[in-house]
Structure 1
């Protein structure tokens, strides 16, 4: 079997954003490792027009190479113009114009068999146009905000639905996400649930006391891993901390709400017990998961959060809201709790969890079915089928 795959992804790490879309990169590396698969990644980079392109957020992106070898993958990074706050409705056209000449030339050299779009917006609609021009099938994967936000936003909903309806096959990160896609008007028969993976060798239990000592931590520790944005609910954890004396809250992630959360921590009198870790390199996360007694993520919406599975793989129980694939992951009460998104409910649940000594083997067991090998097998089978190839 020979399968030439073009992965199109606006979620992909680079030297300016090493944590950005690491799960997409890992999925690509797994697929590329399979015999007979020739994978090319196009990771378009959105940059605001001058003079905003000189802003500290965009300047490092503008300096990225147009092509490079990134962890044994050939990655192209064509820039396209984004208009901050107003760009959603213009993104598809701008990205298509930037990507098409490159795709056309690469396809002329060695034809692709299938396009794999790793996010529903803007990747899905752009993949739809590219596939139509090349006369090949395409697939789109739904991960969370691409359906829950872009799929509902009036300016982009039509493009999202059309990309899903015209695709040869679709992927969903959870059964819950599949139901959301169906509710949006997509056909159930075209949707395959495709769970994420976790590196079970790197994300594994370590001695908790030693892990805390290395990070100079003492006493109960609650960890939250996620971007500092309202949807993730870190503000609820900060408020809950006021009713959890002696507990330390670590926030691993960066985002626009950090200043507001620092102010909130001071207002509720817990600033000395909240640690803002910033964007933690992915390779450093296992040590932090192991230093935590509980990983809490009270999100308003998720597909199936990688942080859930990574924490469980480290033997750290989780406290999460009833969103996305939460009930698909938490199939054993020893692995954690589903909790209401209120400070009081979080404080009560975390207090109960911190008073218990978890069976870390049982906690880790909940993550064992989420392997990258299984993820790669399923993706190869899916893309091979829609490309008319035998896997």
Structure 2
């Protein structure tokens, strides 16, 4: 077993005193880098929370990250995200974690079926070198496809156990394609541990033939120290020019997030303002939609924001609206609630597991502008106390998730040869 290092305080359970370091390699294409600082931020945050948990409980844990990026010959913003990938350095650092960025070949539009193999081939040599200088114990992979499948291949080549965490589209969309579904089924059978961030995604894995006992639900938490209610909300609203009831829509500007649905609801919500936080390929289209519907003066596009700035928008807004058509466990919901702001969200996949109390906000179904507008009107007319919303979010601290992760790793490693 893995023990607490001698001299460290015990705060979780009584264990024998013996110093032995657990070395965990996080493997995912979803991880921040200097060119894309918010890319895969949810994976990075969970890793940071695991490390904090280990330090607080005296558990000896070391973590490093391998976050492959697609190869692209030109480092220029003229080529969009491909140009940004091309500009990513071979190594970077994120909040004290060493991150390697090996390259792999990703063919636009036609590379989906070959992606796991190409990803594994691109990462093998860097992982082999890392293993020689820093012999890691376990690969902690995030996102089932292609990342988790590639991690299983790497685990077989390097004789390392692999844990795969599924987060959303990797189980609620990609298995609809025949070859990826076969890859996913194979990887799930080979994995030493399987994690999903909500019960709805666990049901998807079970539907693919995985035994329920092999899947652990470890939901995302929220950083209650970063996301807090404002000390002077009115002053903050004045600063951010929120002079009318204001909705917030946060997320990458892609069809799945449903920003266009929130804009489409505004004609039924006179006097309501909307702030959209995020960046992505739909920016021009969303602006055109707002103009076409005659609500452009009431829609503001704030771009992608760091947590410190996003916290202010959460705290000042009257409600966060999440109109996604698919979600695993949407972190923005808990971040908003932690700032005291209730939510209105589409009732899809894991979202009802997050918005499970009137203190949290309201769900809407069907996923239409009319249904969304109806629930927004109801929430604005009778909002829960902001203190109650914050209290609800406090039930989603990271502690139990990090403890569950460590316990899973601990159970797996003694059984390895």
TM-score w.r.t. structure 2 length? 0.89
Q: Does 1:164 align with 2:188?
A: yes
Superimposed CA distance per residue, residues 50-108 of structure 1 (whole angstroms, 9 cap, x where no aligned partner): 69997243333223221233211111111212112222122222211111011112222
Query: Paired residue for 1:193, among 206, 217, 227?
Result: 217
Q: Does 1:312 align with 2:337?
A: yes
Aligned residue in 1 for 2:399: 373
Aligned residue in 1 for 2:240: 215
Query: Paired residue for 1:363, among 389, 398, 409?
Result: 389
Greater mean alpha carbon deviation, residues 3-12 or residues 355-364: 355-364
Q: CA deviation at 1:111?
A: 2.4
Helix, strand or coil: the match of 2:126? helix
**Unaligned segments of structure 2, at least 5 residues:** 3-20
Helix, strand or coil: the match of 1:246? coil
Distance 2:383 2:174 in 1: 41
Aligned residue in 1 for 2:124: 100
Distance 1:301 1:57 in 2: 23
Q: Does 1:43 align with 2:62?
A: no
Distance 1:132 1:230 in 2: 37
Superimposed CA distance per residue, residues 243-283 of structure 1 (whole angstroms, 9 cap, x where no aligned partner): 11110011111122221111111111101101111111233
**Unaligned segments of structure 1, at least 5 residues:** none
TM-score w.r.t. structure 1 length? 0.95
Query: Paired residue for 1:205, among 229, 243, 246?
Result: 229
Distance 1:139 1:108 in 2: 21
Aligned residue in 2 for 1:183: 207
Greater mean alpha carbon deviation, residues 11-20 or residues 108-117: 108-117
Greater mean alpha carbon deviation, residues 281-290 or residues 299-308: 281-290
Q: Does 1:10 align with 2:35?
A: no
Distance 2:169 2:32 in 1: 18
Superimposed CA distance per residue, residues 192-244 of structure 1 (whole angstroms, 9 cap, x where no aligned partner): 01111211012111133222111112110011111111111111111110011
8 Å Cα contact 2:75-2:86 kept in structure 1: no
Aligned residue in 2 for 1:387: 413
Residues 161/283 of structure 1: CA separation in 2 closer, same or farther (3 Å cut): farther
Aligned residue in 2 for 1:348: 374
> In angstroms, what is the RMSD of aligned CA positions?
1.9
Greater mean alpha carbon deviation, residues 243-252 or residues 180-189: 180-189
8 Å Cα contact 2:31-2:40 kept in structure 1: yes
Correspondences of 1:37-186 after superposition (within 5 Å): 37-48=61-72, 55-186=79-210
